[in-house]
Amino acid sequence: MCVVTSKAKTTLAACGLFALSGLAVQADVTCAERVFDGLAYTACEVDPRVDDLRLFLDAPSGEKYGQFSTIEGALAEQGKTLTFGMNAGMYHDDRSPVGHYVEDGTEIMRVIPNAGPGNFGLLPNGIFCIGDGRADVIETLAYEAERPNCRYATQSGPMLVIDGDLHPRFLEDSDSRYIRNGVGTSEDGTRVVFVISDQSVTFHEFGRIFRDDLGLPNALFLDGSISRLHAPQLNRSDFGRWMGPIVGVVTPLDR
């Protein structure tokens, strides 16, 4: 059972698709605060058929964007704005992507298929792929086998939900709790939900938010502890450590 705590007028269909009205910022992205099993989180739903969903890494200056405000400044010069943003994958000290990364059709970093240290190497991990009119979370080996046409892609790990099942290594009684963020997708790729926990959660609890509350069959962990959200609808734009890859939705300023 979910509870919505956003001040915006909200209609939820089976605790799934959001339809918000009376927002300060007009956008197709819809964000709302929710509670599931006593855990508070914020979820932003994107429709890749109509929303301009992108990944951001290198600014025109050659430096990494690093902050939502840097992206907003660059977009403003084009008459556009960032109506949603979230950190989108793990990165090295120089803020370059740890795993596979594609931006505007150009591969910046190859796929990393093997196990390794840390959360990224906790297989199975996965890739978030933004294609033509759809976006999908795909397990890494399946991605390598299929090689889908992704205009943008970012690899992270572990997978949270794989074809309706939680990651097999998640422990229900784990005491590892962090603020975490991730993304889940529907089977047809037309429903994309980005989630950030508003309190510390375990991987098991976080995976259940996607599977059991949002009803999404595939979900990918993006990062923890540095997790950040830009949601003008909720008058929220988190500031903190400089980020690597960032995912966001771009909208014209005059809209």
- pLDDT of 178-207, one tens digit each? 999 999 999 999 999 999 999 999 999 999
In the predicted structure, residue 150 carries a pLDDT above the cut 90? yes
| Longest distance between any two alpha carbons in the chain, whole Å | 49
CB crowding 34-47: b at 16 or more within 10 Å, else e: bebeebebbbbbbb
For the four alpha carbons of 182, 185, 189 and 191, in that order, the dihedral sign comes to negative
| C-alpha to C-alpha distance for 109 and 2, rounded to whole angstroms | 38
Per-residue b or e along 232-241, where b marks 16 or more CB atoms closer than 10 Å to that residue's CB? bbbeebbeee
User: Over 70: is that where the pLDDT of 5 sits?
Assistant: no
The band of 255, judged by pLDDT with boundaries at 50, 70 and 90, is low
The domain locations on the chain are 2-252
CB 108 within 8 A of CB 55: no
Q: Both tokens of residue 89?
A: 């994958």
- Give the model's pLDDT for residue 254: 81
Q: Is the pLDDT of residue 20 over 90?
A: no
Here the tokens at position 94 are 């120089």
Q: Cα–Cα distances in Å, from 53 out to 86, 133, 208?
A: 11, 10, 25
How many Cα atoms are found within 13 Å in the side-chain-facing hemisphere of 177? 10
Cβ-based neighbours of 168, under 8 Å, separated by 6 or more: none
Q: Do residues 56 and 102 make contact, with C-beta atoms less than 8 angstroms apart? A: no
**Residue 110's pLDDT is what?**
97
CB of 69 within 8 A of CB of 243?
Answer: no
Whether the predicted pLDDT of 119 surpasses 60? yes
| Predicted TM-score (pTM) above 0.85 | yes
Q: What are phi and psi of 99, to 5 degrees?
A: -120, -160
Q: How far apart are the first and last CA of the chain?
A: 35
Nearest-5° angle of CA 219, CA 235, CA 59? 65
Would you give the DSSP letter of residue 91? B
**146: how many CB neighbours lie within 10 A of its CB?**
11
The percent of residues in the chain predicted with pLDDT above 90, rounded, is: 85
pLDDT of amino acid 26? 44
In the prediction, which pLDDT does 12 show? 34
Quote the pLDDT of residue 4.
Answer: 42
